[in-house]
Chains A and B, each alone.
Chain A
Amino acid sequence: MKKDVNPLSNNPLADSPLPPDNSLSASSAFSVDPWQQLKSFTRARIALGRVGSSLPTREILDFGMSHAMARDAVHLALDVDALCQGLENDGHETLQVHSRALDRASYLLRPDFGRKLDDAAISRLQAACPTKPIDFLLVVGDGLSSLAVERHVQLLVAEIKSAMPPEWQLGPIVVASQARVAIADEIGELMKAKMVAMLIGERPGLSSPDSLGIYLTYGPRAGMSDADRNCISNVRPEGLNYAPAAKKLLWLAREAMRLKVSGVALKDESDSTEVEVQPLNLLE
């Protein structure tokens, strides 16, 4: 009788990383580039070596895995219930809404659908609009990377909460599915919020499948443009980490509240040396 085993468990390479350069360089077909040390200056895919003039197998697979992760970030649906559960465990109220984009395909083909709430969401938000005015409404959108939302939102929200002026009224956290940035303005308008911050999955890059973006609007209403919002990009531990991102957001939010404006009219002069994006980690 055959033993019931995972066929991959017999493969010694199944769970180990791909072999390092020197093991492959033993192959006569593989030509190593002697400028490996330059890799410490950039995350660009330099000094890959070649077989003939083509990419070595290792690099084809490495690129393929990066692309696969970026594709999954776009196409795997955000687990909205799990996210809301996590936020509720942290003491936040949550509200789930959906855009007019029925599925990922229509989301990708019709950006305008992703910017508008569906009818059920409009009624839900109208019913939920609190009597006490909201100062700072947080909206979470899946955007183009559910991975970014799953990995970073709960931790980022905790940092925002602790950096926020205690007198500010936060309101429930609205989680929007198949959402584009502008949907937050419609949500903010319906909730009569003074400001809205949208935390949304950014278009994934090959080296950054889980990058989160933050968009701040003062006096949100449907139909506002990019020029009316301030953007903080590349929020993730390898980019702009949670605490500096929250600090930057709150700096902008306080200024927006004071000047009653956001977007191009609100220049970001938060301490740039402290919150500068860390471009690359040489130890990676």
Chain B
Amino acid sequence: MQYSHSVGANLYRFTDLKDLLAKATPARSGDYLAGVAAETYAERMAARMCLAAVPLRQFLQEVVVPYEEDEVTRLIIDSHDANAFAEISHLTVGDFRDWLLSDEADSAVLKRVSPGITPEMAAAVSKLMRNQDLILVAKKCHVTTAFRNTIGLPGHLSVRLQPNHPTDDARGIAASMLDGLLYGSGDAVIGINPATDSIPALMDLYYLVDEVINQYAIPTQSCVLTHVTNQIQVMERGAPVDLVFQSIAGTEKANQTFGINIGILQEAYEAALALKRGTIGNNVMYFETGQGSALSANANFGVDQQTIEARAYAVARKFSPLLSNTVVGFIGPEYLYDGKQIIRAGLEDHFCGKLLGLPLGCDVCYTNHAEADQDDMDTLMTLLATAGLTFIMGIPGADDIMLNYQTTSFHDALYLRKVLGLKPAPEFEQWLRKMNIMDDNGNVRPVTNSHHMLQNMPRNLLSAA
């Protein structure tokens, strides 16, 4: 297929679908760094006009990374559901936007069509959508998952409690955990980014979180965000592993630089399923992604970073994860320069993820060398929660002292729940009430020294009581 568009006397030509997608993408530093971005404002709009006329069917004919060379492309093409696609197969990308926004495309219809949508189709249509479109359509996509509680019900917002400590100090981690639980956070997962790679030290972390979950009978799940091969090892040694984590990207080559492939993920997935630790559901995976990771691994194949990101969701959805997290501003200003770019990327990722059927949450975050601050995070988290975001991060005071970046806090989660009337996962909400942490109106209750959780501290903290 030839891709070109005339505006007055100017004819804009695009080499192929991948070039067209890149040129149509809203401006961001990573695409300039990769040398794939539009060179002028007019070229970008011409690309969008050209893209709007491309039939969705073309995306099944023309892949952005060669089928023979890339297992992610093979996964996308081989698992494509032609029956689900039939309903939208007559549409162009521009028509697809209109259809998605129409009242006809309600939650049930979107769920039915989802397996027929490829990541590239989702990315393409997102490039024609304004921020409000991304919010409106994502809000219609309902993705519910379960392990020890139910995640993703409409009207609910969950929180990953992230009690990181720079040296994995058990008391430091337990202190942050207690802080988060008493602020009503932790229903998505209690997930630690460990500093260590050592298997015995990782085992200790699993036992630490598991003990706290058992001690207070919390309907939630734990995760230690180490390499998937480490998690396979600790499962073999009998560690109490709830969710298996892995960072993933949208090309085989990028995943290789992470030391993984679909086969390794499958092995870990089956091992976690076999543990049967979920009480009400079997979603055992937790994935993290982020725009720019493929380029930073020099494995982007000339594809724009947002399209590659959407391709990572094809890998994620193969494993029916409990949670999938786009870590939007962590990568740095050479990929997403400022608050505007981070906000746009967060909304795109959430839209694409939800459309493809993933329980998408967002690490709404930035580093100190990006042109962003906590006001930008407020804007993005409010927009995403409005769009039905599945979960955010909860870190004490939004300051991660282990990973050295700023994200969202327990207080932020309370703000979102209050302003938008959102609730924690129902089983967790019941627990919060039982523990006198939350009242019947969803407000946090004053905690005094006599509170059960302070009177019965986790073992590691007893010396401080």
List chain A positions with a Cβ less than 8 A from chain B.
31, 33-35, 37-48, 50, 52-55, 59, 63, 66-67, 70-71, 73-74, 108-111, 144, 203-209, 277, 279-280
B178 proximal to A (CB < 8 A)? yes
Cβ–Cβ < 8 Å partners of A50 in chain B:
183, 411, 414, 444
Q: List 15 A-B contacts (CB under 8 A).
A: A31-B446, A33-B179, A34-B449, A41-B172, A45-B398, A46-B397, A73-B368, A109-B337, A204-B404, A205-B368, A206-B399, A206-B404, A206-B406, A207-B401, A280-B166
B105 to chain A, nearest CB (A): 35
Residue of B nearest to A59 (CB): B397
- Within the complex, which residue of A35, A55, A71, A279 is in contact with B178, where a contact is CB–CB below 8 Å? A35
- B182:A33 contact, CB within 8 angstroms: yes
Docked Cα-Cα span, A166 to B465, in Å, equals: 53
With A34-B451, A35-B175, A42-B173 known, 17 other A-B pairs at CB within 8 A are A34-B454, A38-B175, A42-B165, A44-B165, A46-B176, A46-B397, A48-B396, A50-B414, A53-B411, A53-B415, A59-B397, A66-B399, A108-B334, A109-B33, A109-B334, A144-B369, A206-B401
**A42-B172, A53-B443, A54-B415 as given contacts; A35 in contact with B179, CB under 8 Å:** yes
Give B366-389 interface residues, CB cut-off 8 Å to A.
367-369, 373-374
Cβ–Cβ < 8 Å partners of B164 in chain A:
44
Cβ–Cβ < 8 Å partners of B451 in chain A:
34
Residue of B nearest to A43 (CB): B401
Cβ–Cβ < 8 Å partners of B183 in chain A:
50
B450 to chain A, nearest CB (A): 9
Docked Cα-Cα span, A70 to B454, in Å, equals: 35
- A205:B176 contact, CB within 8 angstroms: no
A268 to chain B, nearest CB (A): 14
- A109:B182 contact, CB within 8 angstroms: no
- B399:A208 contact, CB within 8 angstroms: no
- B171:A42 contact, CB within 8 angstroms: yes
B10 proximal to A (CB < 8 A)? no
Give B145-194 interface residues, CB cut-off 8 Å to A.
163-167, 169, 171-176, 178-179, 182-183
Docked Cα-Cα span, A45 to B394, in Å, equals: 12
- A205:B165 contact, CB within 8 angstroms: no
Interface centre among B179, B449, B461 (most CB of A within 10 A): B179
Residue of B nearest to A33 (CB): B447
Docked Cα-Cα span, A257 to B400, in Å, equals: 38
B208 to chain A, nearest CB (A): 13
A111 to chain B, nearest CB (A): 5
- A45:B464 contact, CB within 8 angstroms: no
Docked Cα-Cα span, A110 to B332, in Å, equals: 11
- A42:B334 contact, CB within 8 angstroms: no
- A109:B32 contact, CB within 8 angstroms: yes
B459 proximal to A (CB < 8 A)? no
- B169:A42 contact, CB within 8 angstroms: yes
Cβ–Cβ < 8 Å partners of B447 in chain A:
33-35
Cβ–Cβ < 8 Å partners of B373 in chain A:
67
List chain B positions with a Cβ less than 8 A from chain A.
29, 32-33, 163-167, 169, 171-176, 178-179, 182-183, 333-334, 337, 367-369, 373-374, 395-399, 401, 404-406, 409, 411, 414-415, 418, 443-444, 446-449, 451, 454, 461, 464-465
Cβ–Cβ < 8 Å partners of B179 in chain A:
33, 35, 38, 44, 46-47
Docked Cα-Cα span, A125 to B29, in Å, equals: 32
Cβ–Cβ < 8 Å partners of B443 in chain A:
53
- A40:B464 contact, CB within 8 angstroms: yes
- A203:B368 contact, CB within 8 angstroms: yes
Docked Cα-Cα span, A17 to B212, in Å, equals: 37
- Within the complex, which residue of A35, A37, A39, A63 is in contact with B399, where a contact is CB–CB below 8 Å? A63
- B368:A206 contact, CB within 8 angstroms: yes
Residue of A nearest to B414 (CB): A53
Docked Cα-Cα span, A80 to B182, in Å, equals: 49
Cβ–Cβ < 8 Å partners of B374 in chain A:
63, 67
- Within the complex, which residue of A35, A111, A209, A277 is in contact with B182, where a contact is CB–CB below 8 Å? A35
B1 to chain A, nearest CB (A): 33
Closest 7 CB pairs of A and B: A45-B397, A205-B404, A53-B414, A42-B172, A46-B179, A38-B175, A70-B368
**A34-B448, A42-B401, A53-B414 as given contacts; A204 in contact with B368, CB under 8 Å:** yes
Docked Cα-Cα span, A208 to B367, in Å, equals: 13
- B172:A44 contact, CB within 8 angstroms: yes
- A46:B175 contact, CB within 8 angstroms: yes
Docked Cα-Cα span, A210 to B169, in Å, equals: 23
A240 to chain B, nearest CB (A): 12
Docked Cα-Cα span, A203 to B369, in Å, equals: 7
**A34-B447, A53-B443 as given contacts; A279 in contact with B169, CB under 8 Å:** yes
Residue of B nearest to A71 (CB): B368
Residue of B nearest to A234 (CB): B166
B446 to chain A, nearest CB (A): 6
**A31-B446, A34-B449, A38-B179 as given contacts; A109 in contact with B29, CB under 8 Å:** yes
Docked Cα-Cα span, A279 to B170, in Å, equals: 13
- B448:A207 contact, CB within 8 angstroms: no
Docked Cα-Cα span, A30 to B333, in Å, equals: 37
Cβ–Cβ < 8 Å partners of A203 in chain B:
367-369, 404
A193 to chain B, nearest CB (A): 28
Docked Cα-Cα span, A50 to B164, in Å, equals: 22
- B368:A41 contact, CB within 8 angstroms: no
Docked Cα-Cα span, A205 to B398, in Å, equals: 12
**A50-B444, A53-B418, A279-B166 as given contacts; A44 in contact with B411, CB under 8 Å:** no
Cβ–Cβ < 8 Å partners of B163 in chain A:
44
B308 to chain A, nearest CB (A): 19
- A41:B414 contact, CB within 8 angstroms: no
Cβ–Cβ < 8 Å partners of B178 in chain A:
35, 38
Cβ–Cβ < 8 Å partners of B415 in chain A:
53-54
Docked Cα-Cα span, A38 to B406, in Å, equals: 22
- B169:A41 contact, CB within 8 angstroms: yes
- B406:A48 contact, CB within 8 angstroms: no
- B171:A48 contact, CB within 8 angstroms: no
Interface centre among A59, A73, A203, A209 (most CB of B within 10 A): A203
B374 to chain A, nearest CB (A): 7
